């Protein structure tokens, strides 16, 4: 059963923020060894890990064009059209994020500016374990294409037969992925970070994965950039008591089925409604193919908080800073300005989180574990670099040089000052 917590006498909601994931030293060490092996032995290590972890023997790590086309041809037209429509929705949203170069021209020959350049190669990690996610392919590849990334390299684990889920390959073809490799886990992250005989080294790695993938991304950060270190999936629902309890329960379970560590939280104002939702969760759990996973999530991490008002619910939600926040109230836009910490916000009673996962357009790769307090969803910005440039004429430098030299000397960096003064025969 899901836990129901009455917070009517609580004034400090920080105690309900999700605890940080504890560092697992054994996993850290295992991932460190995998990365070292891939760096030292390249493709040989990847083939060995494929046999060990994926239980398959491959003749090639790369997915061929024939395999991609075969998967596309085997996919029914209805789903292909769905993928294309979702891609257009994602593209329409993310095109609004494109940054432009700018130039500031001042008097006396001063030119300042910023130029935007896409990273040259991006690596996309797409999970393929207990579930396959073609939606992740679209969410990661479309912003990269819009940013102008020249080479998009996707990695995803194969089945024991050495196959990739056809829906993933179809989504990759539609999204414009450049290369695809049959590798997963920490070894795939290592290959993208350092390169092997087959896998090109990339500049940034994005995409969700299990604890080994997340740990590997953390360990290679600095050699390459990463989007974020994603933890287990989360949903928080703020619901008025007149909501349909079956819909609220279904929305909570939509994230609980991801994995046993996922978190599903409801905040409402009436105990009777909380009990109805709890009963609905139990009823619907028994109908789910992934009941074992969802039940573990609900029993270990699921909570229903009873608060005195929707305003208090928002305050508690801001402390938790959830990955997904559903605001199931009649006038959600009145509440929107008060929400400060959430990865993505779903406004109203007709907007289940799954709408954002697959179709609406905003990105579904979101900050977890409370990091929505300071970080953002995956976007076009994740695939670009901002570079500033400066031009001063001789006259412009002449006017500023004494102030710059003085500034440098006050910091004790005389060589900095001399690099300015020498242009005016001071040394």
User: Which of 191-195, 291-295, 423-427 is predicted least confidently?
Assistant: 423-427
pLDDT of residue 377: 97
* In the predicted structure, residue 224 carries a pLDDT above the cut 60: yes
In this predicted model, what pLDDT tens digit does every residue of 350-363 receive, in sequence order? 999 999 999 999 99
User: Which of 22-36, 190-204, 260-274 is predicted least confidently?
Assistant: 22-36
- C-alpha span between 93 and 83 (Å, rounded): 15
267 with 236: CB under 8 angstroms?
yes
pLDDT of residue 20: 53
- In order of 263, 312, 322, the CA distances from 341 in angstroms are 16, 14, 7
- Residue 326 sits at φ, ψ, to 5 deg, of -95, 130
What are the residues facing 152 on neighbouring strands?
Answer: 122
Question: Coil, helix or strand for 418?
Answer: helix
Task: Kindly name the residue from 280, 324, 326, 353 that is annotated as catalytic.
Answer: 324
For the beta carbon of residue 161, count every other beta carbon within 10 angstroms. 7
Task: Say what percent of the chain tops pLDDT 90.
Answer: 90
- C-alpha span between 426 and 422 (Å, rounded): 5
162 DSSP 8-state letter = S
* In the predicted structure, residue 152 carries a pLDDT above the cut 60: yes
- In order of 18, 97, 159, 164, the CA distances from 173 in angstroms are 38, 23, 19, 13
* Region 368-376 average pLDDT: 95
> Helix 211-220 to helix 185-194 angle, to the nearest 10 degrees?
20
pLDDT of residue 229: 87
Query: What are the DSSP calls for 37-81, one per residue?
Result: HHHHHTHHHHHHHHHHHS----S-SBPPHHHHHHHHHHS-HHHHH
Q: Which residue has the higher pLDDT, 13 or 42?
A: 42
pLDDT of residue 87: 98
Does the annotation mark 324 as catalytic?
Answer: yes
Q: Identify the band that residue 230 occupies on the pLDDT scale cut at 50, 70 and 90.
A: confident
* Region 411-423 average pLDDT: 95
In this predicted model, what pLDDT tens digit does every residue of 63-115 receive, in sequence order? 999 999 999 999 999 999 999 999 999 999 999 999 999 999 998 899 999 99
* In the predicted structure, residue 426 carries a pLDDT above the cut 70: no
Task: Kindly name the residue from 67, 280, 323, 353 that is annotated as catalytic.
Answer: 323
Which candidate, 245, 270, 337, 260, places its Cα nearest to that of 302? 260
179 with 153: CB under 8 angstroms?
yes
pLDDT of residue 9: 64
Average pLDDT, the chain: 94
Does the annotation mark 364 as catalytic?
Answer: no
Q: Identify the band that residue 15 occupies on the pLDDT scale cut at 50, 70 and 90.
A: low
């Amino acid at each position: 059963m899901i836990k129901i917590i009455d917070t009517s006498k609580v004034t400090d909601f920080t105690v309900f923020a999700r605890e940080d994931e504890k560092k697992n030293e054994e996993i850290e060490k295992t991932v460190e060894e995998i990365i070292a092996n891939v760096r030292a032995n390249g493709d040989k290590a990847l083939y060995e890990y494929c046999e060990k972890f994926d239980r398959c023997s491959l003749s090639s790590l790369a997915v061929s064009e024939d395999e991609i086309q075969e998967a596309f041809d085997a996919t029914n037209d209805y789903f292909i059209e769905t993928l294309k429509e979702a891609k257009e929705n994602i593209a329409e949203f993310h095109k609004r994020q494109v940054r432009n170069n700018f130039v500031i021209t001042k008097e006396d020959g001063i030119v300042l500016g910023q130029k935007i350049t896409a990273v040259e190669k991006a690596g996309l990690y797409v999970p393929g374990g207990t579930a396959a996610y073609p939606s992740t392919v679209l969410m990661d590849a479309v912003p990269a294409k819009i940013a102008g990334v020249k080479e998009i390299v996707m990695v995803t684990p194969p089945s024991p037969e050495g196959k990739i889920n056809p829906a993933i390959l179809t989504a990759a073809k539609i999204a414009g992925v450049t290369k695809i490799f049959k590798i997963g886990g920490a070894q795939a992250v290592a290959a993208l970070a350092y390169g092997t005989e087959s896998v090109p080294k990339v500049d940034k790695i994005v995409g969700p994965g299990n604890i080994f993938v997340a740990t590997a991304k953390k360990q290679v950060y600095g050699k390459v950039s990463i989007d974020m270190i994603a933890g287990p999936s989360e949903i928080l629902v703020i619901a008025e008591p007149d909501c349909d309890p079956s819909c609220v329960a279904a929305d909570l379970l939509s994230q609980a089925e991801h994995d046993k560590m996922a978190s599903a939280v409801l905040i409402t104002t009436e105990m009777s409604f909380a009990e109805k939702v709890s009963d609905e969760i139990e009823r619907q759990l028994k109908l789910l193919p992934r009941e074992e996973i969802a039940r573990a999530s609900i029993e270990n991490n699921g909570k229903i908080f009873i608060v005195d008002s929707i305003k208090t619910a928002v305050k508690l939600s801001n402390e938790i800073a959830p990955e997904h926040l559903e605001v199931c109230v009649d006038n959600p836009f009145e509440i929107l300005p008060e929400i400060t910490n959430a990865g993505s916000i779903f406004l109203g009673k007709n907007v289940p989180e799954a709408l954002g996962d697959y179709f609406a357009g905003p990105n579904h790769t979101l900050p977890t574990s409370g990091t929505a307090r300071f970080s953002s969803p995956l976007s076009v910005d994740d695939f670009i670099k901002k570079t500033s440039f400066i031009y001063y004429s001789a006259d412009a430098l002449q006017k500023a040089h004494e102030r710059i030299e003085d500034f440098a000397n006050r910091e004790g960096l005389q060589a900095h000052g001399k690099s300015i003064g020498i242009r005016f025969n001071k040394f």
